[in-house]
Chains A and B, each alone.
Chain A
Amino acid sequence: MSARPNLETVARVCAVVADLFSVPEDELSGASSPATVPAWDSMGQLNLILEIEQQFGIEMSQERVMKITDIDSIAEIIDSAAA
């Protein structure tokens, strides 16, 4: 995929994930994914997409959504939308 995501973006996504799934922010990183965050199930993913879209003012296409695997991949989508 594209270049490494902006660290600031990763941190902001981590903050959203922490709030949404009620996990401590310092336990999250760019590699955090549905496999490591218990509440991040398919419905959690939907909520996360809605929340990311609203907080960052972007709209993610279904093609992009399909590529979400972890926090880094979300940050990459945000960075490319801002670029």
Chain B
Amino acid sequence: MTIHPVQTSSFDKKQIDALIAEGCHSDALAAMRSFFFAAPTLSNASFVVARMPKVQHLQPSRVQMRLAILRSFTVEPAAALLRAYAALYGVDLEIRFGEFNTYAQELLSPTSFLAEFQPNIVVVAAQTRDLLPDAWDKSSLDLSIDLPAACERALADMQGYLQAYRSRSSASIVVQMLELPEWPVDGVLGSQASQSDVAMHISRFNNGLRETAAALDGVYLLDYDALVARHGRERWHDEQKWLTMRMPVSADCLPSLAQEYLRFVLPLAGKSCKALVCDLDNTLWGGVIGEDGIAGIKLDAEYPGAAYRALQQVIANLAKRGIILAVASKNNEADALLAIEQHSGMLLRAKDFSVMRINWNDKAQSLREIARELNIGIDSLAFIDDNPVERRRVQAELPEVCVIDLPADPMRYASALQACPVFERLTISSEDRERGRMYAEQRERAALEGSSGTLEEFYRSLKQTLEIAPVDDLSLARVAQLTQKTNQFNTTTLRCSEQEIASMAAKPDCDALCMRVTDRFGDNGIVAVALLRYSGDRCEIVDLLMSCRVIGRKVETAILAQIMRRARNEKGSNVLWGWFIPTAKNAPAAEFYPQHGFAAALTEGDGRTAWEYDLTQALLPSPDFIELVDAGASIDAPVDKIAA
């Protein structure tokens, strides 16, 4: 047996306890999710369950459920993991176990522990080797064994147990179907047309179980063989643990077994998500539509676009299951809608999304509006976004939303979404099938609400640093590239070659500055450029641009505050002057000057506007949640602090 090392999470137990002690409960809950999903071990499960009482007030719609597991093997460790998973998804599980191999008596007897426990859910977990031993390790060539008869009898028995319990209880019943043996008992001979292999009988038993379940209300089937096969039979089984502890599942696979049970618990507890809210850029397609344009985004049948197509296919399948789809994206609406409707690679179109929020608002706000417009609870929303900052922001603001942690590699997006247990359905109605369309038809935008009061907390939690430095040989290529590629936050969209930037940087009356931003998630690199020209007492912002990576995080305010201080304190300017030249794509920068206290100075016939700021008056304060880092160059923090 291979033992896989426990994965590492970005959070540890000490940090989680510190967050709880500081009263940062929504951060603590988000951290516990990330922590446990990355390392679902038994001690971490105990840790999570022990701390849930501190944070569960964030999930007012928590549900209590009683689960009984009737079994033929040791299932307790998987159940311990299941309790932790369920708790993190808003379900408090009380779990009790039947004795070993007494599932028949427990289902049949009116005085078994089930009568007193009154479970909401009963799982019947019997293995092939216990329920149908002749099909597990005995040759089908053994003429003393009548496998078809054994199969019929086992099926009839199970049918009787289920009917008996059904007549006494309204609990939902989940029955594990049988698995195939790890090795074909008769080797390759068993697969040949002349033979009647054990695999055929097991599959007949499973089909019979389907018919039994169809005839009874509230009986659901767990395809145990598919679960085992998905992980690999050799990896799944642990013979030593089976022989010594009656536990057939390897420790590595216990979380998968627990998650499979969770896929039944969540819909039975009414905790499945009703809607999936999708980001667009680098989630539904590769690239940024506002920067790369419809011809530049990656979305087709080949690498790398195929990864995004695969994700769209999974989402389309969820919609068929009755999951409502919505969009929350920071983009110019017209650009994004054009891509959704016109791009040949899109599997999902505007009609598939019941609500779309494509704007520059905070995404937590967009999710609130989407829930309200769909008239469903916030806890019915799931959210996918490639950007960990957006995910964290939404999770901190809306702890009840199921925020899906997409892996860093887009090739794994589709399987990550499939692995997520919150979209499970045990039945499907015609209404489920039509739901998405109905919402789309009655789509009507509600008025936008004001901005969230806790945005500043979010900015603070990002722990951003800003470093401003003159362009040098090392940054020259990146700076020129930014001037050529940046479309959205760009005041004049001045495209420059490396030579042009270099010559500007060399002139005494000019500044070419570049800005590096880091946050708690890492270094964003050089993400902004300012080109300044000084003449007389005036400083002109020839161009100011910022990558969409850091839009909406007040970085532009900090940059502008630093430019003001540099112009006044070091260059003796009294006026800061800047043009805004509108393009098809730079709407995100349109309000930049007026929002920061600039007065309108000029309006040209072609729509260009000039703005000015009187530097002899109080300067724009720099946001105190963005730390200024000394770049060791001519812009330095001490001067700034004196001036501020």
Contact = CB atoms under 8 A, between A and B. Distances in A.
Contacts of B46: 19-22
24 contacts: A16-B43, A19-B44, A19-B46, A20-B42, A20-B46, A46-B76, A46-B77, A46-B245, A47-B77, A50-B42, A50-B77, A53-B3, A53-B251, A54-B41, A54-B251, A54-B252, A57-B3, A57-B5, A59-B1, A59-B240, A62-B240, A62-B243, A62-B244, A65-B244
User: Which of A16, A20, A54: most chain B CB closer than 10 A?
Assistant: A54
B183 interface: no
Interface string A29-62: 0000000000000010011011101110111001
Interface string B1-14: 10101100000010
B80 interface: yes
Given A19-B13, A22-B46, A62-B244, A47 B76 contact: yes
Nearest to A16: B43
Given A19-B44, A20-B43, A49-B245, 10 more contacts: A16-B43, A22-B50, A46-B76, A46-B245, A46-B247, A50-B42, A50-B77, A50-B251, A54-B3, A54-B6
Contacts of B3: 53-54, 57-59
B74 A46 contact: yes
B76 A19 contact: no
Interface string B35-63: 00000011110110010000000000000
A7 to B, nearest CB: 20
B79 to A, nearest CB: 10
Interface string B499-524: 00000000000000000000000000
Interface of B: 1, 3, 5-6, 13, 41-44, 46-47, 50, 74, 76-77, 80, 240, 243-245, 247, 251-252, 254
Interface of B is mostly: helix
Contacts of B43: 16, 19-20, 51, 55
Interface residues of A, number: 19
B252 to A, nearest CB: 8
Nearest to A44: B76
B245 A47 contact: no
A12 B245 CA distance: 24
Interface string A15-26: 010011110000
Nearest to B246: A46
Contact of B42 (A51, A59, A62, A65): A51
Given A46-B77, A59-B240, A19 B5 contact: no
Nearest to A50: B251
Contacts of A50: 42, 77, 251, 254
A15 B422 CA distance: 33
A55 B41 contact: yes
A67 to B, nearest CB: 14
Contacts of A49: 245
Nearest to B244: A62
Nearest to B247: A46
Contacts of B251: 50, 53-54
User: Which of A50, A62, A65: most chain B CB closer than 10 A?
Assistant: A50
A19 to B, nearest CB: 4
A62 B47 CA distance: 28
Pairs A-B, 4 closest by C-beta atoms: A19-B43, A20-B43, A62-B244, A51-B42
Contacts of A58: 3
Contacts of A16: 43
Nearest to B50: A22
A19 B3 CA distance: 21
A34 to B, nearest CB: 16
A59 to B, nearest CB: 7
B41 A51 contact: yes
User: Which of B43, B252, B254: most chain A CB closer than 10 A?
Assistant: B43
User: Which of B5, B6, B13, B244: most chain A CB closer than 10 A?
Assistant: B244
B32 to A, nearest CB: 13
Contact of B76 (A20, A21, A43, A62): A43
A37 to B, nearest CB: 13
A78 B395 CA distance: 40
A47 to B, nearest CB: 5
A53 B243 CA distance: 17
A59 B252 CA distance: 13
A54 to B, nearest CB: 5
B44 to A, nearest CB: 7
A58 B43 CA distance: 17
A55 B6 contact: yes
User: Which of B41, B42, B251: most chain A CB closer than 10 A?
Assistant: B42
Contacts of B247: 46
Contacts of B74: 46
A57 B42 CA distance: 15
A58 B251 CA distance: 12
A26 to B, nearest CB: 15
A62 to B, nearest CB: 5
Nearest to A19: B43
A51 B251 CA distance: 8
A57 B251 CA distance: 11
A21 B50 CA distance: 10
A78 B46 CA distance: 22
Nearest to A65: B244
A54 B41 CA distance: 8
Contacts of A43: 76
Contacts of A19: 13, 43-44, 46-47
